[in-house]
Amino acid sequence: DIQMTQSPSSLSASVGDRVTITCRASQSISSYLNWYQQKPGKAPKVLIYAASSLQSGVPSRFSGSGSGTEFTLTISSLQPEDFATYYCQQSYSTPFTFGGGTKVEIK
Amino acid sequence: EMQLVESGGGLVQPGGSLRLSCAASGFTFSNSWMHWVRQAPGKGLVWVSRTNTDVSDTSYADSVKGRFTISRDNAKNTLYLQMNSLRAEDTAVYYCARGWERRLDYWGQGTLVTVSS
């Protein structure tokens, strides 16, 4: 199975900050990498698919990059509604494993 | 509006069985690959299973293989997860989600399964 490792596991940031989250795959997954946002008590929501494509309706301050084994999610200017937990997921091969999550908290 | 609504969760004893349902509306269910994902209390997301449009191609996480079975009724627009030989570590919120172009683009609100004596 492909292991997905996210870092950091948590971070504190202020409104307006640029935030970067990293996800590493245990083997090459080409660009089959998705990013999800989850708020407490809610279902996850897809933000980025295929490593760098923005899901319809998602603000343009979210962006993704990378291929192979290293990927990043960037929030260019953190907004109050962005405080949440973020997960990467590989869809290269089943099981479609998730990373452990990154909790973004208010500084 | 696309909607997925899970049901069937509850309290079950270790070794017991439960069947979850996921009712779909607002999209062509019969053309959609579907997934189950779970989340233990306070923990991260774990992919559980997925099926293609006619259940001829299914896949499972190692942790549930041989105990869980994914199925669907396209006439009823409903996805199922039959869970047998349940263990305490299966306690989680179970989400169904639509798979679209290799991403999970729509999710239900989840149903809680608690395995405890």
* pLDDT averages per 10-residue partition of chain B, 117 residues: 97 98 98 98 98 97 98 98 98 97 97 98
- Flag if B45 and A34 touch (Cβ within 8 Å): no
Question: How many angstroms separate the CA of residue A16 from the nearest CA in chain B?
Answer: 27
- Give the pair of three-digit tokens for residue B19: 């069947």
Per-residue pLDDT band for A34 (boundaries 50, 70, 90) equals: very high
If one counts every other C-beta atom within 10 angstroms of the C-beta of residue B61, the result is: 20
Query: Which residues lie closer than 8 Å to B78 by C-beta, 6 or more apart?
Result: B21, B22, B23, B24, B29, B72
Residue of A nearest to B112 (CA): A41
- Give the pair of three-digit tokens for residue A84: 């949440």
R_g (Cα) of chain A, nearest Å = 13
Asked if the model's pLDDT at residue A107 lies above 90, the reply is: no
The mean pLDDT value of chain A amounts to: 97
Question: How many angstroms separate the CA of residue B85 from the nearest CA in chain A?
Answer: 21
Asked if the model's pLDDT at residue A58 lies above 90, the reply is: yes
B114 to each of B82, B86, B103, how far by Cα in Å? 15, 10, 28
Rounded-to-integer distance, Cα B65 and Cα B49, Å: 9
Residue B17's pLDDT is: 98
Cα dihedral A81, A100, A20, A93, rounded to 10, equals: -110
Residue A52's pLDDT is: 98
Rounded-to-integer distance, Cα A6 and Cα A21, Å: 7
Question: How many angstroms separate the CA of residue A80 from the nearest CA in chain B?
Answer: 22
Residue A57's pLDDT is: 97
Of A45, A96, A101, the CB nearest to B44: A101
Of A55, A91, A97, the CB nearest to B102: A91
Residue A15's pLDDT is: 96
Residue A106's pLDDT is: 87
Rounded-to-integer distance, Cα B16 and Cα B82, Å: 11
CB–CB of A12/A106 below 8 Å? yes
In chain B, residues with a C-beta closer than 8 Å to the C-beta of A43 are 95, 107-110
- Flag if A98 and B46 touch (Cβ within 8 Å): yes
Q: Give yes or no for A91 touching B (CB within 8 A).
A: yes
Residue A24's pLDDT is: 98
pLDDT digits (tens, 9 = 90+) for B16-30: 999 999 999 999 999
In chain B, residues with a C-beta closer than 8 Å to the C-beta of A101 are 44-45
